[in-house]
Structure formats: C-alpha cells, structure tokens
C-alpha cells in the first residue's frame, strides 16, 4: 500500500521525533512566513480529523488544536520541523462547513486559493478524505483547483478505524481510481487512523518523500 522501505520509514520517524514547534498563524497572505523552507500543507473538510492527524503525525497531543466545533481553524497555521529548520507543516482552514457565515467561508476560500496557487515553497498538499464518506464535491473543488494550478497533492483517508475492513477497501479503491484520473494527484493513497496509529508511519514517510 505505501511503497516505502524500512530505511525511509525509520528516517521519517526520527525526523518527527525531533524538534517541532508552532511558528505562527496567518489570517491573510501578508502574514505568512518567508518561503525559506519546503512546505507540506494539510487540507480537508471541516471535521475530517485534520488536527488529530497532525497531532498523531508529530507525536504531540497539543500541537494542532482539536475541537468539537468544526471549522475552528480559520487561518494558515505554520509549524517548524527540525533545528536547524528542515521543513514546515501547514495546517489549512477546513472547508465545506455549512454553518460558517458566508463572509468567513469566502475569506477562507480566498486565503486557501491564494496560498495554494502562489506558494513556491509548497512541495505537496495532503488532501484528507473521511473514510466514512469518501470523496465529496467540496473535495473535488479543491482537487480541481490543485490540478489547474499544477500543485502536487496526495489523497489521505482519515478515520480508517471507523468502518469495516471491506468498506474501507471499497472506499480506498474508488478514491485511488479517482486519483489516477487527475493530473496533479499522486496515484497512491494512504489510509490512516489517528486514534489507532494506523498508517502514521507511512504518512510521515510520505511527507519526507514530498520535500525531496
């Protein structure tokens, strides 16, 4: 499923076991840090489990804020990995949350679009898909935008422990089939569970692979 060798997995584990620190939140592009390190961004629908996955990825419970209120992340949050700085993780605002005010949704959309389209340091975007629901139209909107902007991305299934193995296999297959039809998508998807730790080692390796 992952295609990563043990050496890459172990290197990724050691990297994420090292220093990781919150750098800053950027409510608009004028506040984003200088593009002085490679970046890997995390995008996904509100309530897809993005903050939990970031915490599992980094092995730190409180790095990314989790909330029972979907749409809490309304800014681009930057995290420095390594000392000296090796690369950055970028936690993007969740999308597709119907209860958010329209002006807030519009602001998020502009912020996300502008960042994804114009960021030279961005090496890959990880688009998170809830295993229980599969790819939705709001996910396709982001994927369409990434395809048009020629920004490399990879689909990552979250909450894989929440459905039966047979259902997960079907969702994974249909997700992979869609990924292969898209010009900027990585052909292989990842299956993860932040609760059970499933696929976290592979996800770390995928981040390391993306920054080259």
Question: pLDDT digits over 114-164, tens only?
Answer: 898 889 999 999 999 999 999 999 899 999 989 998 999 999 999 999 999
Q: Is the torsion defined by CA of 196, 189, 2, 14 positive or negative?
A: negative
Stretch 82-90: mean pLDDT:
97
Q: What percent of the chain has pLDDT over 70?
A: 93
Q: What's the Cα-to-Cα distance from 143 to each of 75, 151, 154, 165, 186, rounded to whole Å?
A: 20, 9, 10, 26, 11
pLDDT at 75 over 60: yes
Q: Please, which residues have CB within 8 angstroms of residue 20's CB and are 6 or more apart in sequence?
A: 58, 60, 63, 79, 80, 81, 82, 89
Mean pLDDT score of the chain: 91
Q: What is the pLDDT of residues 167-208, one digit of tens each?
A: 999 999 999 999 999 999 999 999 999 999 999 999 999 999
- Report pTM: 0.93
**pLDDT more than 90, % of the chain:** 73
User: Which pLDDT score, from 0 to 100, does residue 209 have?
Assistant: 96
């Amino acid at each position: 499923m992952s295609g990563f060798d043990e050496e890459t997995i172990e290197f990724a584990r050691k990297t994420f076991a090292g220093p990781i620190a919150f750098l800053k939140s950027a409510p608009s592009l004028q506040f984003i840090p200088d593009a002085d390190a490679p970046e890997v961004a995390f995008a996904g629908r509100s309530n897809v489990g993005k903050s939990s996955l970031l915490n599992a990825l980094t092995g730190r419970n409180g790095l990314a804020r989790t909330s029972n209120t979907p749409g809490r992340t309304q800014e681009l949050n930057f995290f420095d990995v390594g000392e000296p700085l090796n690369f950055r993780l970028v936690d993007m605002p969740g999308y597709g949350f119907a209860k958010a005010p329209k002006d807030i949704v519009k602001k998020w959309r502009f912020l996300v679009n502008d960042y994804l389209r114009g960021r030279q340091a961005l090496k890959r975007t990880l688009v998170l898909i809830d295993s229980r629901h599969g790819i939705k139209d709001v996910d396709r909107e982001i994927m369409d935008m990434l395809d048009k902007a020629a920004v490399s991305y990879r689909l990552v299934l979250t909450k894989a422990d929440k459905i039966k193995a047979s259902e997960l296999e079907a969702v994974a297959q249909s997700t992979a089939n869609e990924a292969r039809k898209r010009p900027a998508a990585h052909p292989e998807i990842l299956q993860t569970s932040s609760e059970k730790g499933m696929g976290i080692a592979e996800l770390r390796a995928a981040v390391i692979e993306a920054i080259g």
